[in-house]
Structure 1
Amino acid sequence: MTGSGREDLKEKVLCANNLVEYQPGTVASRMIVFKKAGTITGFSFDAGEGLSEHTAPYDAVLMVTDGTAEVQIAGTPFTVGAGEMIILPADKPHAVFAHERFKMILTMIRE
């Protein structure tokens, strides 16, 4: 880790499923890229955990790298599995729930 608390991940081959480990009873995250134009964050969810319904002012791409997630967008449920992605539209309420452990990469694009 650097003095800023963030490890420099540039110019390294990264395995998406190794970026953030599962932790019992929680959602864990790790910032991968943080720029004015957007962010990329890795998440791991233990079974039964989730992110409650919320909105964001920007579009985001949620890509599942391990397991299966339930994603709700404006009340409509979607099941997204490893290797699949879904676009979360700006200003629409969405939520994420783990029926089983899963990992995802979230890319937020700011305008």
Structure 2
Amino acid sequence: MDTKELEKLPNNEGEIEKGTTHIIVELIEYEHNAVVSKSIMKKATGSINALSFASGEGLNEKTSPFDTYVQLIDGSAIIEIAGKTSTLKTGDGILIPAHSPSHIKPNGRFKLILTVIKSGYDI
């Protein structure tokens, strides 16, 4: 998923307030039959987003030109990177290398943090 795709998802009121503490899993709520995104931080060199996925929802296959880090903060999901499948549960993370096809399959409802680092690669 890239920045353009994230902008199409329902967003809960922009970025979080800087310098304030928060409980990461409570930044975003589940919505029935929906994928919801909340921007934590968005810069020219990358972004951090919290996403929630209702049961049965996932992300279609995508190849990003940037390294992307995914960390599950609630629930469980199945992620496939370049044909290799991994099951992530709360607390697990995985780095998706740039230029590697990947997609996230549902395994019930789940929440994740998606961090995209844009520096170091040509667009």
What's the TM-score, normalizing by structure 2? Answer: 0.83
Aligned ranges for residues 1-111 of structure 1 at < 5 Å?
6-111=14-119
Cα displacement string for residues 68-109 of structure 1 (whole angstroms, at most 9, x for unaligned residues): 110000121110111110001101100011121110000111
The CA distance in 2 between the partners of 1:79 and 1:86, in whole Å, is 10
Q: 1:8 to 1:70 in 2, by over 3 A?
A: closer
Q: 1:8 to 1:61 in 2, by over 3 A?
A: closer
Task: Structure 2 unaligned segments of length 5 or more: list them.
Answer: 1-12
State the shift of 1:64 in Å: 0.2
Task: Structure 1 unaligned segments of length 5 or more: list them.
Answer: none
Query: Deviating runs (4+, > 3 A) in structure 1?
Result: none
Q: 1:12 to 1:48 in 2, by over 3 A?
A: same
Aligned residue type for 1:48 = G
Aligned residue type for 2:25 = N
The CA distance in 1 between the partners of 2:16 and 2:68, in whole Å, is 23
Q: How many residues align?
A: 107
State the shift of 1:6 in Å: 2.4
State the shift of 1:12 in Å: 0.8
User: Kindly, what percent of the aligned residue pairs are identical?
Assistant: 37
The CA distance in 1 between the partners of 2:59 and 2:72, in whole Å, is 15
TM-align CA RMSD: 1.1
